Amino acid sequence: MRRARVELSGWGRTAPSVGTLVDVAPGELRDGSVKVDDLIRGGDGDDGRGAIARGRGRAYGDPAQNGGGAVVRLGPGAIVLDDARGTVTVGAGVSLDELLRHLVPRGWFVPVTPGTRFVTVGGCIASDIHGKNHHVDGSFGAHVDALTMLLADGTLVSITPESDAELWWATLGGMGLTGLIVDATVRLIPIETSRCMVDTERVPNLDSLIQRMETGDEHYRYSVAWIDLVARGAALGRSVLTRGDHATLDDLADISRGAEGDPLAFAPGTLADVPPGVPNVLNRLAVRAFNEVWYRKAPAQHRSVESITGFFHPLDMVGSWNRLYGRAGFLQYQFVVPFEATDTLREIVDRVASSGHASFLAVLKRFGPESGGMLSFPTPGWTLTLDLPAGASGLDRLIADLDRLVLGVGGRHYLAKDATATPDVIRAGYPRLDEWRAVRRRVDPDHRWASDQARRLDLL
């Protein structure tokens, strides 16, 4: 175990805080050589601020920070694949990047992946992440069979949905506040190749996009739309819709270039790194120009073979891309509204497009059923994600307006992306919050697991 006093921030780089980073190996927790008290104690002794787990720091706001307290970074641990069962038992500190490099050449894929593979398995569970396949496969937690957790009293427990249902459903989406996840057993998706068959189409406006997704998503495992949140008028919400599935050997046999080489080869790389100190280059003029090119270059309709990285994780090809927003950083704002609230969705898109705040990355997806996690974000409806440069004049007013619209139709906000919500916003969006708090009081009555976000949102 190693300790160091460091400044940490989320991927958005908006609210750094100084805490004690504690690096620990899973074996040290299993053999009892490292206790909960050892993790929580700060560099100058126990300061009463508790501890929180941190993976690769890809949560956008402050859920993996703990100013004045401890931040625990768990070492990778083992990856044990069970081909017969189609499961993997994996350390919570293992990233999806590491896991996919192990699984894909063996013919397996993770059940759910977000837009980056540089997140840990523990983070996927704590955030109950979703991906392009939520309308078919649900969130990550729906595919987890068992967890090993370190509780606040020092107990190392193995739990399943049957052994302790309350703790299980409080942990999925619980942002690491019920205990330290040590490892998990996860069900996998079998694949024949490391490629994807992808249908891409250019869509002229938001109404057309909604209609296409409502009537066509059921034919695809994966679906996501990039939306131009600068365009207005008749082009409001113009989009590029991409949908697909894992390519089979038969698919590749029909495409000569796709049939060459090992069909399960997987060696993702980085094309470039953004250096530190770059000023914000994603201003409204730059975003408008980029969006115009991106939309125009998309085919009216086209089928192609893409790599796993190209389809699922294109931004991972640019190292430290968050630096493009300059020193002030950026906010990623994600919400979900019910399917019937398309008028509200349209109003939100129009508000953002007319606000002067340019969103470089904006994606729309359809959610399927809830997972059962008390604080899990996905619920049936439309989810829109947008990135906004931080610190701009009027941004607080815009976010407050969007919050009001989202909550007015029974929507909610994603805790793993949040950097701006208030306790009232979270209480309104998560009707099972009190139920979650009751479970947390049972397993952590002294608030030993704590984070900057938990204090900001009054989750403790």
Domains of the chain, residue spans:
79-191, 195-428
Are residues 301 and 199 in contact, defined by beta-carbon separation less than 8 angstroms? yes
| Predicted pLDDT of residue 357 | 87
pLDDT tens digits along 22-40: 999 999 999 989 999 888 8
| Predicted pLDDT of residue 256 | 57
| Beta carbons within 8 Å of 390's beta carbon, 6+ residues apart | 12, 14, 325, 328, 329, 330, 331
For residues 63-76, b (16+ Cβ closer than 10 Å) or e, as one string? bbbbbebbbbbbbb
CATH fold match for the domains 79-191 and 195-428: no
| Predicted pLDDT of residue 258 | 46
pLDDT tens digits along 143-166: 999 999 999 999 999 999 999 999
| Beta carbons within 8 Å of 57's beta carbon, 6+ residues apart | 8, 9, 10, 11, 64
Rg (CA), the chain: 22
Are residues 414 and 151 in contact, defined by beta-carbon separation less than 8 angstroms? no
| Predicted pLDDT of residue 335 | 98
Picking from 44-58, 169-183, 212-226, which range would have the lowest pLDDT averaged per residue? 44-58
- pLDDT band at residue 299, thresholds of 50, 70 and 90? confident
Q: Which CATH code of 3.40.462, 3.30.70, 2.40.160, 1.10.600 fits the domain covering 195-428?
A: 3.40.462
Closest by CA to 125, choosing from 85, 194, 183, is 183
Q: What are phi and psi of 108, to 5 degrees?
A: -135, 155
The average confidence (pLDDT) of the chain is 94
| Predicted pLDDT of residue 61 | 96
Query: What is the number of helices (H) and of strands (E) in the chain?
Result: 15, 21
79-191 folds as 3.30.465
The span from the CA of 349 to the CA of 412, in Å, is 16
- Looking at residue 115, what DSSP letter applies? S
Closest by CA to 99, choosing from 74, 115, 83, 80, is 80
Q: What are phi and psi of 176, to 5 degrees?
A: 75, 10
| Beta carbons within 8 Å of 217's beta carbon, 6+ residues apart | 135, 223, 243, 366
Average pLDDT over residues 253-260: 62
pLDDT higher than threshold 80 for residue 302: yes
Instruction: Give the global pTM.
Output: 0.95
pLDDT higher than threshold 80 for residue 255: no
pLDDT tens digits along 56-70: 999 999 999 999 999
Q: What are the structure tokens assigned to 400, written together?
A: 């407050």
Average pLDDT over residues 217-236: 96
